[in-house]
Amino acid sequence: MKGKISSDAGNIAYVVPTVQFGFPLSADKVIALHSNDAAEVTKSEYAMNNSHLAGKMMAIAAYRVMTNPTELAAIKAEFDKNFK
C-alpha cells in the first residue's frame, strides 16, 4: 500500500491559488502520514534533510512568483478561469 496524505488545502484551493506537494520521510519504505511510524521517522536525519529541502523549494517558488508580475498574473488568470 502506498502512503496517502490528506489536508485541508483542498478547501483553501477553492478560494486562492494553492500548491501542495509531499516528500519522502524514509529512503527505505513509504510511510503513511498521521501514523506512529510517521511520528517516529520524522526524527531521522533523512526526513530532516528532506524537510529543509522542501522549505527551500517553497521559498524559491514564492520568491519567483512574488518577483515576476507576469507569472503571478498568469496564475491568477488560470485560477479565475477554473474556479470562478
State pLDDT tens for residues 3-39: 555 677 778 888 888 888 888 999 998 888 888 999 9
Provide the pLDDT confidence category of residue 1 given band limits of 50, 70 and 90: very low
Rounded to two decimals, the pTM is 0.73
Alpha-carbon separation of residue 80 from 13, 26, 67, 77 (angstroms) = 12, 38, 21, 5
What is the C-alpha end-to-end distance of the chain, expressed in Å?
36
Neighbours of 33 (CB within 10 A): 15
Assigned C-alpha cell, 83: 474556479
Cα 2 to Cα 38: distance, rounded to the nearest angstrom: 13
